[in-house]
Structure 1
């Protein structure tokens, strides 16, 4: 079983992930000319902001704090969202969607890692499962848009 500090660190890692996603979606919404995609990206950016708040509440319950309002600086997921920024510079919706898919898959992996330790995260397992499901649903919607554009 993990210590309280390890649980807090796991949750802070997830805050970084959802903040990376929030920033990535905001950047994507600014880079596309598609009104439909702008709306979709802003919806998921707002979703991730909500996820961060929920995670921060659980960090506080465990005696920690998370002042991070932006994503992780050195994490692999951050590098994934950097790829999104590079895709954004091309302003090609297919490239943007492809980069977002990569970011969402990386986020799901991080949630899966946290969910593996069921006992340590028992008091917030439902929250983590619900957020993971939300990210998976976002991924499926992004993949659907991507498939429509490449056909």
Structure 2
């Protein structure tokens, strides 16, 4: 078993907070958008992100960290998905899709940054790589909607 690794815990904690923000962004979007098909896509993305969250949480606990189910309170001003709440108030499909795309890019950057670290244990790196692949896969339906959102 890999010894408790503070870098693993710190990195996983950041990714968990960002993934929670992503889930909340999709859920908010599903509630606010007027298009039932788009709402269903957003709910599906939130469900898929929940699976990613669970894998990250399991690895966090395996490294000695404490499981959490919420986004970053201290980093709330920096959450990309926070702008989503403003965008969805008018149920504007284009604004919602733009904010989702911004959030997807932010999430990708967080995972890329995590994987660029040399200090991660092989187990944590593998969990993060798998999660990154799943996030890219689940983000594809939303990307596919973007051209028609104009």
Answer yes or no: same fold by TM over 0.5: yes
Q: Aligned partners of 1:85 and 1:17: how far apart in 2? A: 16
**Corresponding residue number in structure 2 for 1:97:** 97
The RMSD of aligned alpha carbons is 1.8
Question: Number of residues paired by the alignment?
Answer: 147
Q: Aligned partners of 2:145 and 2:31: how far apart in 1? A: 17
Kindly provide the CA deviation profile for residues 106-142 of structure 1, in whole angstroms up to 9, marking residues without a partner as x: 0010101111125513113232122212222333322
Identify the structure with the greater helix proportion: 1
Say which is worse superposed, 104-113 or 70-79, in terms of deviation.
70-79
Kindly provide the CA deviation profile for residues 85-122 of structure 1, in whole angstroms up to 9, marking residues without a partner as x: 11001211110010010011000101011111255131
Change (3 A) 1:135 1:117: same
Q: Aligned partners of 1:61 and 1:121: how far apart in 2? A: 12
Change (3 A) 1:10 1:34: same
CA displacement at 1:148 relative to structure 2: 1.0
**Corresponding residue number in structure 1 for 2:61:** 60
Q: Aligned partners of 1:114 and 1:6: how far apart in 2? A: 10
**Corresponding residue number in structure 2 for 1:39:** 40
CA displacement at 1:8 relative to structure 2: 0.3
SS class of match (1:80)? coil
The answer to whether residue 31 in structure 2 is matched with residue 30 in structure 1 is yes
CA displacement at 1:53 relative to structure 2: 1.2
The answer to whether residue 23 in structure 2 is matched with residue 16 in structure 1 is no
**Corresponding residue number in structure 1 for 2:73:** 73
Q: Aligned partners of 1:57 and 1:77: how far apart in 2? A: 27
CA displacement at 1:41 relative to structure 2: 0.5
The higher-RCO structure (CA 8 Å, 6+ apart) is 2
Say which is worse superposed, 100-109 or 133-142, in terms of deviation.
133-142
